[in-house]
Amino acid sequence: MQEALKNLEVAKDAASPEKIAVIDDDIAAFQEIYDMVVTEAAKRRERLPAMQANVGAAQAKYDEAHYRTSGLQTELNKAIDDGASNETIKQLRSEIMSAERRKKSCEDDLHHCQRRLESQEKQVQYFESEAEEAKAHIDEDVAKRDALLSDLEKAQAAYDDACKAYEEAKAAADKTASPEITQPTETTPPSNSTQPTETTQPTGSPATGKYAPSSSTKQADTTAGKLANTGDTAPSAIALVAVAAAGLGITATATRRIKNSK
């Protein structure tokens, strides 16, 4: 977990809001340059078809002047070979000179149109190259920013997983060290059940070693039995008095027997 925390701190520092803001500013600046040069390239590219047409027209005029000059030169050569008059030869030479001047003018126009076209094409190429360079900077900065944010997200997820694993391991260790003890269930006797009463064993007589209950004792036992059969867990005051009276009767009878034996 410490390693995950360390990686998270490094990722947070690399992708801090201040550093991300700097990257965003660079992206915005290059985006502005990109938009400008793309617009300029488009404007200059729009003029290319007209300039190319001008070059084509100038080329046609030059070709026409060239063919005219070549034709006149051929005609002059033929006139000389045929022994034409000096006036004819002079006229042909004058026309050739005029055709050559026309050819030279057309050639100059052609070169001018060609240079303009080449310059325009170079400007288009320049602005398109600047646009590509600006786009490359934008893509690089965007990729850098996205990578930093992605690393931060991954580091945060790794740290969260490490914390979760630590908590689960700690809980498992605590459970192993302190197993749960099951408390026995306390049994409550039914409310209508009769609890057994403790019986005091009588003392046997010296002669027989056996206890012979008197009529009073039997009566007390009978009374106690009736009380037990009623199901009352707490006998009434009348029942207690009856038991006590029976006990007194037993004591009086025993006293009389002792006196008679004397």
Q: What is the CATH number of the domain that holds 39?
A: 1.10.287.1700
pLDDT in tens, 175-232: 887 655 545 555 555 444 444 444 444 444 444 444 444 444 444 444 444 444 444 4
Tell which wins on pLDDT, 257 or 37. 37
Residues 150 and 244 in one domain: no
* Distance of alpha carbon 51 from alpha carbon 42, whole angstroms: 15
* Distance of alpha carbon 258 from alpha carbon 167, whole angstroms: 87
Cα-Cα-Cα-Cα dihedral sign, residues 160, 164, 166, 167: positive
In a domain, 184, yes or no: no
Highest mean pLDDT among 31-35, 91-95, 192-196, 253-257: 31-35
Query: If you ran DSSP here, which 8-state letter would residue 210 be given?
Result: S
In a domain, 189, yes or no: no
In a domain, 194, yes or no: no
Q: Mean pLDDT over all residues of the chain?
A: 78
At residue 134, the pLDDT reads: 96
In a domain, 16, yes or no: yes
Question: What is the mean pLDDT of the segment spanning 234-240?
Answer: 45
Is the CB of residue 178 less than 8 Å from the CB of residue 17? no
Residues 101 and 222 in one domain: no
Count CB neighbours of 198 within 10 A: 5
Residues 240 and 139 in one domain: no
Residues 166 and 236 in one domain: no
Question: What is the mean pLDDT of the segment spanning 136-151?
Answer: 95
Q: Is the pLDDT of residue 88 over 50?
A: yes
Residues 64 and 154 in one domain: yes
Residues 107 and 228 in one domain: no
Share of the chain above pLDDT 90, in %: 48
Cα–Cα distance list, 254 to 23, 84, 243, 260 (Å) = 119, 199, 17, 10
At residue 9, the pLDDT reads: 92
Cα–Cα distance list, 60 to 52, 64, 96, 153, 205 (Å) = 12, 6, 19, 67, 164
Q: pTM for this one?
A: 0.56
For the record, the structure tokens of 47 come out as 């003029």
At residue 5, the pLDDT reads: 86
In a domain, 48, yes or no: yes
Cα–Cα distance list, 89 to 70, 73, 167 (Å) = 15, 11, 114
Is the CB of residue 157 less than 8 Å from the CB of residue 4? no
Element of type H or E holding 127: helix 86-177
Query: If you ran DSSP here, which 8-state letter would residue 82 be given?
Result: H
Residues 8 and 127 in one domain: yes
pLDDT in tens, 1-54: 788 888 889 989 998 999 999 999 999 999 999 999 999 999 999 999 999 999
In a domain, 210, yes or no: no
* Distance of alpha carbon 184 from alpha carbon 70, whole angstroms: 128
In a domain, 11, yes or no: yes
Q: pLDDT band at 108, cuts 50/70/90?
A: very high
* Distance of alpha carbon 131 from alpha carbon 68, whole angstroms: 47
Last residue of a domain, one of 150, 176, 202: 176
Residues 120 and 48 in one domain: yes
Tell which wins on pLDDT, 137 or 188. 137
In the block, tokens 């027989």 appear at 208
In the block, tokens 């006139």 appear at 79
Residues 150 and 241 in one domain: no
Count of domains for the chain: 2
Residues 223 and 99 in one domain: no
At residue 54, the pLDDT reads: 96
In the block, tokens 């009623």 appear at 230
Residues 171 and 242 in one domain: no
Q: Is the pLDDT of residue 143 over 90?
A: yes
Residues 164 and 77 in one domain: yes
Cα-Cα-Cα-Cα dihedral sign, residues 201, 210, 226, 249: negative
Render 153-184 in DSSP notation, one character per residue. HHHHHHHHHHHHHHHHHHHHHHHHHSPPPPPP
* Distance of alpha carbon 98 from alpha carbon 72, whole angstroms: 10
Give the domain extent around 224: 215-261
In a domain, 161, yes or no: yes
